Amino acid sequence: MSDASTQIKDTVASNDVVLFMKGTKEMPQCGFSSRVAGVLNYMGVNFADVNVLADETLRQGIKDFSDWPTIPQLYVKGEFVGGCDIITEMTMSGELDTLFTENGVEFDKDAAEKIREANA
């Protein structure tokens, strides 16, 4: 197993919510990463951010790990959830709320509702 794979496994195992992204949650460096980090930040989700731009082996490693070609990638309780389009859809449908609730992840339900109202 590669170092990147080990690092990824350790990261997703030790954090309830992890976003592998381009940049950081304070300073996203692509629109898709910015959108997902923005949703999580707005909903008050406590999440670990991993900047794949800081480490080329990690950048490729996460794609191999999830068998998913794009960044960002969201993990909840060690499970791969999806990328920007999937997270956006799940936010709009309320599925993301359900996922967080079922996994005991704290988030602001009012904020989630505001996102849906603003985009309805």
Prior bond of 72 cis (ω within 30°): yes
Q: Is 30 annotated as a binding residue?
A: yes
Secondary structure string (H, E, C) spanning the chain: CCHHHHHHHHHHHHCCEEEEECECCCCECCHHHHHHHHHHHHCCCCCEEEEHHHCHHHHHHHHHHHCCCCCCEEEECCEEEECHHHHHHHHHHCHHHHHHHHCCCCCCHHHHHHHHHHCC
Q: Which residues are annotated as a binding site for [2Fe-2S] cluster?
A: 30
